[in-house]
Structure 1
């Protein structure tokens, strides 16, 4: 439990009240992570602007898959659950459970597996990355802008997830997450010695 004294909903004003209201409209409640990070509401809004710019360029599906991979590598229950719920709007639960358990064996296209491997490596040991890692993304068809977007999506998730972990913010379980999906999203990362690509046959 965080030691931060967060602003109660009834006492929120100004930008903080606007941030809370946006979450109530979209989620039906104000998550703990919103309350913690909106202690600096200007920074929180800048963060939201950044992620919108990245996701609109990269595409929602790719953005969410990169986010899920990065959050799993970091060990962020907050972001795995929150973005698992968001991903349900674009991927059915059966496949999402498979992705959550091991995205290498979830029938994803080769390019999506490659970008998720890249997000995992960035989140686990960015200092060990070289041009070879970016070249692997280029080799499966990503443009230079897409490679930059994938990198920024994973790096942005590191910022937010690690801040929540460092502050010991409570983890919220969104409504609409089944027990099976909950368990899959919180499963440990399946690590491989070398990136496996190939996805589904014919993908």
Structure 2
């Protein structure tokens, strides 16, 4: 296997295949570049495809809006100190809900959040931080925000799988793409002061 650029992580470049190329082409179509994390997951393309299909199914079951997905992922990533997903989804959340909401969620605060955003961010933070510390009472903000038990299950599984996704990316050394840091609004850029640094250059 060929050696890899340090920003792509600790693994060598995967051998080319139609499945690997499909992942890369998908990134270029969606983002305009191949993400560093995708080069890590290219060692098991079917796993990334299956994971994101499951995440999509859970988001649909929970009837999550794009903003709500952004709150859940940003709160999860911020809680575990994952700069990659914090930048990627902090930027998206800032576009959907405003820079103030994005930086508040990333920092683990709830000041100024509406009841739905606060309930989602709080539950995501609790799961990501210490799932063994949860109590039945922790579900009440979600119920007051209008989520039923089926949705709460889907939300919980969604957060758990996003945490696993971040764990793989971080453990195998994928650096946040330079483009994500360069595009970050001021509040998101300031809030993401943890985790691996962004790559020095864009690819």
Q: TM-score, normalised to structure 1's length? A: 0.80
What is the CA-CA distance between 1:117 and the residue it aligns to? 0.9
**Alignment match, 1:4:** 11
Conserved 8 A contact 2:76-2:128: yes
Post-superposition CA distance 1:104-161 (Å, at most 9, x none): 11x2212321221111111111112232222442233221122122212211111101
**Counterpart check, 1:137 vs 2:151:** no
Conserved 8 A contact 1:33-1:169: yes
**Alignment match, 1:96:** 102
User: CA separation in 2, counterparts of 1:12 and 1:29?
Assistant: 17
Matches within 5 A, 1:4-23: 4-7=11-14, 12-23=16-27
Matches within 5 A, 1:1-203: 1=6, 2-7=9-14, 12-56=16-60, 57-105=63-111, 107-173=112-178, 174=180, 175-186=182-193
What is the CA-CA distance between 1:180 and the residue it aligns to? 4.1
C-alpha distance 179-6 of structure 1, shift in aligned 2 (>3 A): farther
Root mean square deviation of aligned Cα: 2.2
Q: Unaligned regions of 5+ residues in structure 2, if any? A: 1-5, 196-203
Conserved 8 A contact 1:58-1:149: no
User: CA separation in 1, counterparts of 2:165 and 2:124?
Assistant: 15
Higher RCO by CA contacts (8 Å cutoff, separation 6 or greater): 1
Conserved 8 A contact 1:100-1:187: no
C-alpha distance 38-92 of structure 1, shift in aligned 2 (>3 A): same
- Regions of 4+ moved over 3 Å: 97-103, 185-188
**Alignment match, 1:200:** none
User: CA separation in 2, counterparts of 1:21 and 1:183?
Assistant: 31
Q: TM-score, normalised to structure 2's length? A: 0.80
Q: Unaligned regions of 5+ residues in structure 1, if any? A: 189-203
